[in-house]
Amino acid sequence: MFTLPSQAQKNPGDIIVIGNSPRQWAQNQSYWNQLVGVFGRAIPAATAPAPPSDTTQAGADPQVLTQKLLQNISVGAPQLQPILKLPGSSQVSGSLTNRNNQPVTIGGVNFEVLDNTGNVIQTGSAVPEPATVGPGQTVTYQQTLLTVPSDVGASVRLINPPVTIQGGI
């Protein structure tokens, strides 16, 4: 078995080009395709891999795609409830629905807690369970707030943006 020097292959699965010219690269690629028989026929040597079949996302701006995905995520009004076994604390909870035609991984549902006069006393984010939400799926989220008693007239509302998508597109 032939082992490449550690500097040639940095990560498992890296493609190593063997040869000093496009002609040698083509010969090696043709030979390898025939030897392995993965494709049933040799791939033309100077051909680049085909672009992804989903061209709507291949060349689009990630920020535009993120905004489109966010428009189809609906978040119900969050609720602030006391935690009876933990006096002086509350729990924010609610639900989220993915109305996109593809799964979306949610980084968090963003909220702020207001006191009885409307002043912000805390901000936070809750990750739904599961975080990856399938098309048409509704999931719940919750976050424990150890320093916000719900019996003092506190309330909770979503902030802008109400949802963040984890890891981009």
What residue ranges define each of the domains in the chain, with the CATH number in brackets?
1-49 (no CATH), 64-165 (2.60.40.3230)
Please report the pLDDT score of residue 45 as a whole number: 45
Give the pLDDT score at 47: 43
pLDDT value, residue 24: 67
Q: Biggest alpha carbon distance in the chain?
A: 77
Phi-psi region of 131 (alpha: psi -120 to 50; beta: other; left: phi over 0): alpha
pTM of the prediction?
0.61
> What would you report as the CA-atom Rg of the chain, rounded to the nearest whole angstrom?
26
Q: What is the pLDDT of residue 19?
A: 64
Are residues 143 and 124 in contact, defined by beta-carbon separation less than 8 angstroms? yes
**Would you say 29 and 21 are in contact if contact means Cβ atoms under 8 Å apart?**
no
pLDDT at 90: 92
pLDDT at 35: 59
Residue with tokens 């390898």: 32
For the chain, residues with pLDDT lower than 70 are 1-59, 150, 167-169
Q: How far is CA 111 from CA 57, 125, 142, in A?
A: 30, 6, 11
